[in-house]
Amino acid sequence: MKIVALCLFFASQIMAYSFFESDKSIDKRHLDVIHAVKDTVISTQKTRGLTNNYMNGNVVAQLLVYGQRKQMLKNFTKIDNNFKRLELPSEYYKKASELMNRSKKLNKMALSMHQSVLMKGRVFKHDSGKIFASYSRIIEGWMDLNKDMIKVHFSKRDTRTYEKVKLLNNVLLPLTENIGKMRGMGSGIVARTYCKDKEALEMRGFVDEIQRYLTLLEGHLSSTSYSALHKQETHLIKQNIKDYADKTRTEVIDKSDIKLVTNEYFDQGTAAISDILKIYNVITHSLEQP
């Protein structure tokens, strides 16, 4: 009897250990899904910007956009695998599938329009805005999907964890999105060498939103410290973002005969987004610690 009791005791301990470990791994896997969606947002942002860039006359951008589309497809596979592994609710999978299909159709449409441009020997400037807006709506869809998943799978955890996960999707990703919009639309303007009135209005909105989300990020960083993120580094990151916004305000918005180099302007925006992703990764690492 003692042997049986001892065996039952160890069995119960193993089951308890397995339960807690699987619970922890489920949370980690849900976090992986959130990150996979983030990666898709970033690749879609870059695809949108490069597409707008070449549709407004920058030949170099047309070579780069194909690589971003391939990256986007890789991210789709990652999302698909994560969703299936977790057996998430069907409405999530349906929404993700819809966004992936819309992205593929939009990529084909942009490619078709580009081929038409090559055949006719002119730039399809009047359609670039529609393509840009369509990519933006898809990106909004991905962030909304993430928002729903975060609310369902993380809201019941401790407040600190929930707030950090929300920060990733509700502050850091919108910050990259508004920089991405400014980069994408701005590089098209620079390629064309003048800014339209409608674009000036939208670009001012991007600049204002960047400042708003940057303020929210600063508020979080002032109340929460991360050992892997030094004050000097965060100051430099914030300054780089502000410098990019200032350049856009003074040298792109409402300007004609713009002298900036479009690839350099685009790359400066990409560097600013990369800086934000450094902060994203530091916060993510803090969430993954026991």
- For 21-75, the three-class secondary structure string (H helix, E strand, C coil) is HHHHHHHHHHHHHHHHHHHHHHHHHHHHHHHHHHHCCCHHHHHHHHHHHHHHHHH
Given a contact cutoff of 8 angstroms between Cβ atoms, the answer to whether 171 and 217 are in contact is yes
> Does the residue 15 lie in any domain?
no
Could you tell me if residue 17 is inside a domain? Answer: no
Please give the model's pTM, rounded to 2 decimal places.
0.86
- Residue 120 within any structural domain of the chain: yes
Q: State residue 122's pLDDT score.
A: 53
> What per-residue confidence (pLDDT) applies to 266?
96
- The answer to whether residue 87 scores a pLDDT higher than 90 is no
Considering only residues 82 and 240, tell me which one the structure prediction assigns the higher pLDDT.
Answer: 240
* 274 found inside a domain: yes
- CA-CA-CA-CA torsion sign (45, 35, 173, 278): negative
Is there a domain that residue 81 lies in?
A: yes
Q: Torsions phi, psi of 43, nearest 5?
A: -70, -35
Dihedral sign (CA 243, 247, 249, 253): negative
- When pLDDT is cut at 50, 70 and 90, the band that residue 289 belongs to is confident
pLDDT of the residue at 117:
56
Least confident of 24-28, 46-50, 213-217, 245-249: 24-28
Residue 26 is predicted with a pLDDT of 40
Q: What total number of domains does the chain contain?
A: 1
**What string of DSSP letters covers 270-283?**
HHHHHHHHHHHHHH
Look at 36-45, 109-118, 139-148, 209-218 and tell me which has the smallest mean pLDDT. Answer: 109-118
Amino acid occupying residue 160:
R
Q: Which domain holds residue 93?
A: 27-288
> Scanning the structure block, which residue is given the tokens 């159709």?
105
Neighbour count for residue 286 (Cβ, 10 Å): 16
What pLDDT is recorded for position 290? 63
Does 233 map to a domain? yes
Mean pLDDT of the region 117-143: 78
d(CA 152, CA 17): 25
| Structure confidence by residue, pLDDT tens digits, 140-182 | 999 999 999 999 888 887 888 899 999 999 999 999 999 999 9
